[in-house]
């Protein structure tokens, strides 16, 4: 045997490759349909980042065989325009670009709940969020034919973790992160908190870090609890979570924030879902076994996957009418 050591190089994995696999699955499902599903994007702000995201989602839709229409309005029109799209049978999914009414306004939270449940491609409806936190995977228990929609970015992170085999498929479905310790920087309602809950629901021990400290998301002792529980880790500092973690996931907005790379465990897996670089590239590669610098393309692939789920939930999923299949 050769005596040369295992190369200590960090493997950088790009979102594109992970997205490609997902888009392949999407294409297979799309082929079964007799029509092009249509996503409508509603833009009611002047934010160039939102316009860019809209352009990007349009391009990905078109490339992958979906219809996409961007509609622009004033913020005062958005409520009525969502209601119109809700009632339009030719539209299968709706994406609203936020923020419309920036913080500290809470009006966006109201707007999110206007989108019809069966067209909410981003999974922002309270019903979907509630199901996610409560680890309920279908809308129509006990029949379990209508899948609950998961929010795109948290689900994209899950898909990345599956791709990286952090999810251990030897374990039963729903418990494939059991034994893993994961730190998530960001505890926003849109991404960080749902992500921590999803990972804990799948069995991980999750340290959730934000400006107001650390919370521990677990499923409690063993594998018995059906959904996560949360403990306030009073006095624990965000950085203290790093050496404990098999996986470090970060999504902090702003250029200033950097993960303290020195504290990361050798061989940890590091994933950045911020639009900024939360990890210092050269430094993290000295520590991590795998580094995923961004996940945006996976998020868009997940969006299309969600759209197909909605089409299914709308009873339009099969090439033949459902009655004929029965």
* 234 in contact with a copy of itself (CB under 8 A): no
β-pairing verdict for 290-292 and 269-272: parallel
* 31 in contact with a copy of itself (CB under 8 A): no
List 52, 74, 165, 260, residue binding a copy of itself (CB under 8 A): 74
Using left for φ > 0, alpha for ψ between -120 and 50, and beta otherwise, residue 146 falls in beta
* 163 in contact with a copy of itself (CB under 8 A): no
Stretch that binds a copy of itself, among 21-29, 189-197, 255-263, 285-293 (CB under 8 A): 189-197
Please indicate whether residue 152 is annotated as part of the active site.
yes
* 129 in contact with a copy of itself (CB under 8 A): yes
Stretch that binds a copy of itself, among 42-50, 87-95, 98-106, 299-307 (CB under 8 A): 98-106
| Among 61, 152, 241, 270, the one annotated catalytic | 152
Number of residues engaging a copy of itself in binding (CB under 8 A): 27
* CA angle at 250 for the pair 230 and 203, rounded to the nearest 5°: 40
* 239 in contact with a copy of itself (CB under 8 A): no
Q: Which two tokens stand for residue 7?
A: 């190369």
* 100 in contact with a copy of itself (CB under 8 A): no
Using left for φ > 0, alpha for ψ between -120 and 50, and beta otherwise, residue 235 falls in left
Stretch that binds a copy of itself, among 17-25, 30-38, 186-194, 275-283 (CB under 8 A): 186-194
User: Under a CB-based contact definition with an 8 Å cutoff, are residues 117 and 151 in contact?
Assistant: no
User: Under a CB-based contact definition with an 8 Å cutoff, are residues 215 and 182 in contact?
Assistant: no
List 110, 140, 262, 321, residue binding a copy of itself (CB under 8 A): 110
Beta strand extents in the chain (DSSP E only) = 11-12, 38-43, 67-72, 93-97, 181-185, 205-210, 213-218, 229-232, 247-250, 269-272, 290-292
The residues annotated as belonging to the active site are 152
């Amino acid at each position: 045997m050769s005596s040369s050591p295992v190369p200590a190089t960090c493997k950088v994995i790009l979102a594109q490759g992970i997205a490609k696999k997902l888009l392949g699955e999407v294409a297979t499902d799309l082929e079964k349909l007799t029509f092009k599903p249509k996503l409508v994007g509603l833009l009611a702000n002047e934010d160039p980042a939102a316009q860019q995201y809209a352009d990007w989602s349009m391009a990905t839709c078109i490339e992958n065989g979906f219809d996409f229409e961007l509609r622009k309005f004033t913020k005062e029109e958005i409520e009525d325009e969502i209601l119109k799209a809700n009632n339009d049978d030719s539209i299968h999914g709706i994406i609203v670009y936020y923020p419309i009414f920036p913080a500290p306004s809470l009006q966006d939270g109201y707007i999110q709940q206007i989108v019809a449940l069966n067209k909410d491609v981003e999974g922002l409806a309270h019903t979907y969020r509630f199901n996610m936190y409560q680890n309920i995977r279908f809308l129509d228990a006990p029949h379990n034919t209508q899948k609950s929609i998961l929010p795109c970015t948290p689900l994209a992170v899950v898909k990345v973790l599956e791709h990286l085999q952090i999810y251990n498929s030897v374990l039963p479905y729903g418990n494939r992160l059991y034994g893993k310790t994961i730190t998530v920087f960001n505890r926003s309602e849109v991404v960080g908190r749902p992500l921590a809950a999803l990972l804990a629901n799948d069995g991980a021990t999750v340290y959730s870090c934000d400006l107001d400290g650390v919370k521990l998301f677990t499923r409690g002792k063993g594998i018995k609890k059906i959904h996560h529980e949360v403990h306030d880790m009073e006095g624990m500092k965000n950085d203290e979570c790093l050496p404990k973690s098999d996986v470090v996931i970060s999504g902090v907005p702003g250029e200033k924030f950097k993960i303290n790379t020195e504290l990361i465990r050798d061989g940890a897996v590091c994933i950045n879902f911020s639009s900024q670089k939360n990890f210092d590239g050269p430094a993290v590669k000295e520590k991590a076994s795998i580094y995923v610098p961004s996940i945006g393309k996976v998020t868009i692939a997940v969006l299309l996957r969600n759209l197909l789920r909605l089409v299914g939930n709308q009873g339009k999923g099969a090439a033949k009418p459902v009655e004929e299949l029965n």
